[in-house]
Structure formats: structure tokens, C-alpha cells
Structure 1
């Protein structure tokens, strides 16, 4: 689920890291230093030390492929007798491979780093982590045990041993290791995040949520917040219940209401989100423009346009840094058929951030509503070039080609491109849903594959209604209204309250529009009216 407006309450969370990376490389001092490296390498391309330093900079700012190229050069040209340099170079490249999830290559590099520096704690720790990721639990256990022998109070070793114990189904031993780690560092928020990961692996989601809440309570741990967001994708009730328990114990802590509201909003449980945001505002627990923008987004999803407009105008009036809020206003206006007015406000957002994907999407939708189909297709085509591994731009442009420009053959080609570009492998239902491949299959006459995709989507229990809604969309587009209504009923039973999606959304052919032709969907929404109030 996409989470918006996190940073204002929790500073720079994990969602901001790619932006931070780009800003870091664009920082004048960093840019000047990189220019020096470039000049030195222009005169001596084999300078191992400069290659290593530049690789380090790229790595710090998440530019992993560039970092890898320089690390390769540093190792290739490293002095054979400089053990310290070789240890550091292999360590760096191993960490780059880890970030690229190439664990076999990373393991080889950490092994080489240890040959050059057998006393390296970090190389041994990362070697054990790679062994764990590769499923070699015996080797990982042996290396984590070596780590513990060097430092009896090292929580890294205890966490590693606990993770191995879970794989060995020794859950009591795993819990004991993590309890010992927490006892060593009870005031350190990170140790609770570590224990949460082990508890989650044990299937103890309730305990994991409690630990993450504790980490946030200690120092607003951003990693803990992101883990809560990730957990909500898999077990929404556990996260919401855990946050409810935290609120019961500290009812005047606005942060927990905010986190619960953000997560509820991201999972299309809009009335719950509105209640939490209103509690913060009405009780003067916190006050900033983003709260009103979030309320506007929730009211928009419920098709309550006056309330949405009032709140977004309040957000706009509260700060000069209001470009994102004009985008929300544009979405509200377009929902009411005011595409021309919406386009003007989209442009305000794009003036501040020309690469804003949400604003570009809204621009394309406005152009479509204005009948400017060629321009809409161009916008979405450029988005595909910028993010070729994202599904939605393909679906948007194919929809414009098919429904707007009446070029079904070109739309079919684009759906095929999407299937080639978006990986088929997905290890979780959330990842499967993000890929949206089932719709491209359906619209390229691979109906059986599409139906199999929908079945896989619901293979694991849906906990918030979002996957059931997506399955309802696919079955509706496939002409199986009975199955689509079953999935819609399940989605509403789980609280999926996006009125716009149920009643108005007709974009991208990822919608339940075919269900609106009779009374069945309206009757179903009436039966579950309480989730929309």
C-alpha cells in the first residue's frame, strides 16, 4: 500500500530515502568531491583508492550499480600486498551485492574480506547473514556462534542465532535469545525492531506489533514505523489492534492516532482514518497542514466533495509549501467533472516538482477527460520510460489507446510489453497485487492465466479487503459478475470503503464498472453501509 504524508510526523522515514539519495549527490560539496574523483580517474582510470572512494559515495546514496562498477575496478587494481585495502574493498562490494540481493556473490566477497582481515567483526556478521539468506543455516549458526564468542553482549549474534532457531523450529530458544538481547539494551529502540522481526518469523504478529510500538515510543524509530506499514499489508488487524492497545495506554499521544490513521487510510478504511485524524485536531494533540490534506483525501475517496474541498483549502492556507495539496484539490475537482480547473492546479504541483509521478498521472487523467487523448498517451508513455518496472503507467497508456484513441492493436502491444517488463515472480500476495499482471493477461486474451492470477491473489487470507477488491475488478472485467460480486462482498466485509472505486472509477480498465449495470452492487453497498459512514 502506498503511504503518503509520513515524513511530516516522523521526520525522514524509509520512504524518503531515494529522494535523500538524489539530493545527496546533488549537494554542492558532494558534487564537487565527485568532480575531483572524475578528474583523477580521467588521468588514471586504474587508481584503486579513488575508485574505492567514489564507490563508497555511490553506495552511501543508494546508487548501487554505479558503486558496483567502481568497486569492481578498485578490487581489480588493488595492491596485492595491501591487506587492509583489499579487506575494505571486498567488504564494500559485498555490501553492495547484499543491497542488490545477490547473496552468493556477497558471501564470496565477505569470505575474501575475512581472508585479508580475519578479525573483522562486520565481515563475519555479514557472511553469516548471507549464509542465512541462502538457506545454509548450519553455516550461519556456526558463524553467529563465533561472533558471540568474540562478544558475549553482542545483540547481532543473538539476533542471528534467534533467526536460525526459528528455522530449526526451536521457537522457545529463539524467544530466549531475543529476550536476552532486549535485557542487555532495554532503552535501545533498534533491539525491539530486531525482536519484532524474529517474533514475526515465529508467527507471533501480536508480539511483533507490541515491539514495534515500543520502539516508536522510545525515539520515534522510523524503521519501526516502516515495519508496521509492511506488517499491515500482511496482517492489518494485528497492526490496528496493537496500535489500539497503545492508544488505550497513552490516550493523549497524538503520534499513535496519526500512525493508525495513516495505515487505515492506506488500506482504504477511510472512516476509521478520519476518526483518528479528527481526534488529533479536535483534541489539539497536533496540528499541521498535512492532517487536513489527509482528511481531504479520505473524504474524496468517500465522494464527500464539500468536506474534501474544505479540508484541502485549509491545508493550502496553512503553509506556503503547499504544492502537493493543490494536487489533492485537482483530484477533487476532476472527480466533480471540472477537468479544466483541475489541470491548472496539477500544473501548480508540477511547477514545484516536474517529476512528481502522482501529479503526472493526474495530468494524464485530466487530459483524457478533456478529450486530448494523444497528449494523455504521451504523458503516460513518458512515465513508462521513467519507471519501466511499474505496472500502472502501462495500464494507463493502454487504456487511453484502447478507449480514447480507439487503437486496440496498439493497446494489445502495450499490454504485452508490460508482461515482458513486469516480473512474473512474486513471493507475497502484496507483491502479486502490485504487479497487476492479471489485467494485462486478460486484455491479451490469456483469460485462463488471468483467472489463475486472481486465484493466486486470494490464496492467502485477505485481511483488509484490498486484494478482494482487486480480484473483483478482474472478475468483473472478465465477465464473471457472480464471482466479482462474491469478491466485492468479501472486500466490504473486511472494511474496504473506497466509494470512488466502487461507484465512479472507470480508469485503466482496472475497476468494477461492469458491476454497475444492475442493482446488485448498489444493494451490496447498502448491506454494508456501516463501513462507509
Structure 2
């Protein structure tokens, strides 16, 4: 509802939910008066205004306690003329600055700057690969057209309108003109009769000549030139058209064997050989099919799709001339798979398999396209392809991927090792092996694998970034990461790769408490690659932590187009709304972040702290209640490398809000419990323990305080104390899955697996989809020596969440 301050007539909004329990007091930010707001319909007399002292007023959210207004002068004192007051033309609040630009207060000027940034950046670009860029300004879009970063097939949208082809916008028409279009002849009208007559004669001559040429052209035996995508591809590719070509059959055999190896170097060499054959004989259908099929796998892991779309034009043109050619159809299916058009690729592969049921490459294709739809069928097809052609090493990669989808990590590792045995220099397989070790929580082995990759290929950016991230996120050693990154940056000159490395350097510097150097690293990263998402995210984080609200809002709005479903970005934007301040938007943003990732404990804590700072106790406790349903071992269960890393600084704004509210709620145990949990998540163990103990002094049955004191005791290895705290939490709230889970873990570490099993089964009885409880149940059965039951539980948990590190680690440990 809207309320008006009767002292200064400023108008504000207040949430109706705050009035459910009766009248509330709200302080006017403009004149410091206190407005007593009645619930709707309670009174028609309007809000009542009081003058408040500093001792009686709670501080405003995010601000300090206001100083008391000057005491009223006695009635006998002479009246003084009131000082002229200047009020903001936008919000009506009192302007306290001596010089107010444009008649606006400081907060409204800041909002105007943010709005201006957003209004100028109104263009969005949807690339052919599905990536959305923006919002961008008109100048930025034109610059991307000039640099070739926006292709003719990309779609553009202005504001919130639908995406259309760029050629439909007059602003970008100049980029779609054909050669010579700027030199079109224009008819110039003349007033004189002679001029009009000459113009007519010229037109008749031109039309007559065109008609005569049209009549004579077919009789002269000359064919009209047609656009040939194959000739266009060959013209764009380097090479000597007059160079002699060896026996085409032999060259095709060599290229096919290179394709079977499944390595990028092999694909590149096969591409070169096949282009030689095509230059000598463009009508060679086998060579066309082999080139298209090879091109599909050459660009399989790349985001850029221009080369594959050109290959699709080539194979479609060849199929128009020879629609039943089985090799061309198979090449097209490989290409559709590479372009992630799996439905059409599956349909086409079924047609091909019906005609070639015992062809190794056809079975390979069938296994690839059925990997997600039917893993069992994919495995069968891939194994048959290797039986028919043991040299088809590419099949081992997809066999490994199929076994990973089944949770058979040992089998996947054996597939990768079999491929490396035949080709030890296979970098792609080494990378897949290192990723597998990360997935199953074998971080030491993963680190060794990435180090080996860099020894063979020092330009491998994935290995370099992974090694730095392991030091930053898992080993908590940013100094070691900086040493590694310095060496990587010295060796790597590719702009996109340097941007990723500089983003990791910025994270390490931020964790070391060096924000200025971190911002310099991010500026260099964005300059090297303006589309590096990790760098753009860290730029938002650094701007927010530095208090650069307008810049952070603008940059986060730009990034939202590319990370629309990223929970932490949504939470960051909500924190920015709180600082503006826009409290309703901040609450909605945190709710959206929680919907995107319900297991993110820190987002729930941030939301609870927001309502506590706004003195909405009921909502604060409602969100705090959710903590009892989230596993306190979430970091252990999902211990992997995060692509957008926040670190403990994410909760810094939450702690500031809680710190300000604790003076008002010093006798509230839940407020102290919230403070303790936030401090614990920020890595401040001693301060957290003090707050949690304070909560227990106020309420010995406080579930949250007992729960997290028990968790902290578990981390410290104090099992008896942990069990004591956790039993108190469990008895106070038997429905709390977090308290039950933590007590079960404590019993398991006490070698009381029988009691642990009972506790974990209680959780699963209420929620069979609780993947955390099922993972710990599997570990409890394993501790009791019942491997079959443990494996069965782990295999039930794996399809629920294939990224659950604890489940993957258990399966790998049990040899699965």
C-alpha cells in the first residue's frame, strides 16, 4: 500500500505483509519522522506522525541509527525563519547535498544513471549456435558486424521484442549489401521533353538487348552459372589446385584410417587429404561423404558452427544429385549429430542401418546417436562396431561416455586406457580421463592427469584452467594458483585462452584480499575476450564488493542474457537491488535464485538475513526454517570445480545485515543461530561457535544451534560432542532431514553403522528422492560389509543426480 509522510508529504510504498500483525512504525528517510501505519481498513484517520529520539528508533536497513531531531523551542522563544528546504523532484525526499544536480537526490541520480545505461543497451543478438549476447548498444552491435562476430544468419532483437534477421533492421542494412549495390543506377527525371524521350530510348535498347541475350543464350550452348557450395569451400581453403594428387583410392583409405583414430590432429590431416582429392575430382561422391563426415567430428566439441553448416550445404547439394547414396546419407547423419539435431540423426541412422546392418561406421553412428535415448542399445552398437573394425578407436571414446551414463566408472576408465594403449598421444582421451577422475572425487589423480596433458600440449587451456581451479577451490591455495597462472600466461598468447586464465588470476587475487589487482586482471581478460563468461561474472562480483553499484547493475543485466538460469547471478542481482534499495525486487530475486537451485544453502541464508534486516521476523524465520531441510554436508557431497566461483565473500552482505539487526534482536535465539551459521559458512569458526552458544543460552532446544554446533564438532573430530548436540537437534525436531542426516553421519563415524542405517532409512521413508540420504545409506551398508546392498543404493541414487560427487565416489570405490 502507499503511505504519505504528514511531515514532509513524501510518498512511499510499504509491503502489506508487514501489517498483518497490527500497526507498525516506519521512519521517513527524508525528514526522519516516524509514521504509524495502520492495517488497511483499521482506521480512516490516516497515518500518525511521531517525533522519535535516537534511542527509540531502530536503524533503517543498511543504514545507521538516525540522530534525534532538535528539541522544540520553548513557546516563549522568538521564532526564527525556517531555512529553505530543497526536495528531490523524483521521490520528494529532502536533498541534503549543497549542490543537487538536476534537482535529484543522490539515490535518484544513481538510479537515473543505471536506467540510462540500460536504455542505451537495448539490442540482443542470438547467434546460430543458440548463444544470446547482450544487451548491447547500437555502436557495439555495429562493431561486432564489422569484426565478423555477428553472421548473416544471426538474429537480433530490440528491447523485449522478438528476434528477427539482422537484414530486417534498417540500422544494419549496410552490412547486408551485395558487391556493387552501392553503385545502382538511378532514374533522374528531367523537365524537358527531349530528356524524357532519350530516357525512353535507352530503356528500350536495354530491354531489347536483354531479351535478345535471353533468346540466344541456350542456343549458344552456355549454361548459367550456379552457386556450388563445394567449389566455394575449396576456393576459401588454402592449397594449390594444380598440385599433383596421388591415387585417389589410396588417399581416401589414408583419410578414413585417420578418421578412425578420432584425434583432432588426425581429423586435420584427413581434411587436407580429402580436399586434394576433391580439387582433382569434385564429382567424387565417396570423397565428398568422407570430407563431410570428417568435418562433423573435427568441429564436434567446438561452439562455432559455420564450418558444419557449410558442410551441410555441400552434402545436401550432393544428395540432390544422388539421393540414395548411402555414404552421403551416413555423412549427413554424422553432421546432424555434431549439430545436436539428435532426433533427425536417429531417424536417419535407422534408415542407414536397415541397409547396412553390419557396417562398422554405421554401427558407430548408431551408438553415438542413441547414447542419451537408450544407453544399452548404444553400448551394444559400439561394441559390435569395434568387433567388426578393431581400428575404429573413436568408438572407445563413446563407449566410455556410455559407461559413465550407467555409473560404470571403472569400465569407462578401461575404455579410455584401451584407446590410449593404441594411441598414447591422444590428448582428447587424456582430457576425458582427467574429467572422469574429477567426477569421482579422485582429485590427486585428476591433477596428475592434467599435468601430463600440459607436458604434451602446453597450450591446452582446459588443463591449465583446471589445475588453477584445483588450487583455488579444492586446496584453498590462491598463492600456488597465482604461481601456476603466471607460467601459463607467459606461454599462451591466444586471446580467448588468456581471458580464461586472467579470470582465474582475478579470483585468486580477490581471495587474497587484493581487489585492485583483481580488477586490473578482469579488465585485461574482458579486453582479450569480451565474451568470456567467467571474466564477466567476476567483473560483476568485484564491482559489487567495491560498492560500484551502478556498474555492477549494468554488467549483471548484460550477463543475465547469457546466464539466465544461473542461481548465483540471480542472487547477486538481488543483493544489488537491496543496496539500491529496492527491497521487493531483492526478495523476488533471491526467491528466483532459490527456485533455480533449492540446495544452495547460502541463498536461503541471504534471504533470511534480508527479512531480518527489514524487521519481518515471520518471513525471516520461515526462510531460516528451510535450513533444517538442506544437507549440512552439501560441500562434501558436491565437491567439484565450479565454473563461476564465489568463495566465502558471497555472504558478506548477509553478515552486514545480520550484524545490524542483532542489536535489535539480542535476546532472540534464532537471530543468533542465523548469525552463527553465516559465520560458519564464511570460514569464521570461532565467531560462529560463539553466536551458536549464545543461541543455546537463550534456548537450549534451538534446533539450528544444536545442528551446526554438532556439524562443527564433527569437522573437528569431536564425535561425542557432535552426537550430543545432534541428538538434541533430532529430539527437538524429528522431521528435520538435516538433523537426522547429520546424526546418522556422526553415528557412522562412531562405527555405529546399524544406528546410522536406521536414521538414513527414516529420511528415505519420508522422501525416497533424497539423494544425500541414499548416498550416506550406501556408505553405511558398505561399512557393515554388505557391498551388494551398498551398490544397489548407490545405483538408485545415481540417476537422480549424476553430478553428485559422493555417489560417483562410492560407485568408483566399489569398482563399478
Normalised by the size of structure 1, how large is the TM-score?
A: 0.44
Q: Specify which structure has the higher proportion of helix.
A: 1
Bigger radius of gyration: 2
Normalised by the size of structure 2, how large is the TM-score?
A: 0.31
Structure of higher RCO (CA pairs closer than 8 Å, 6+ residues apart): 1
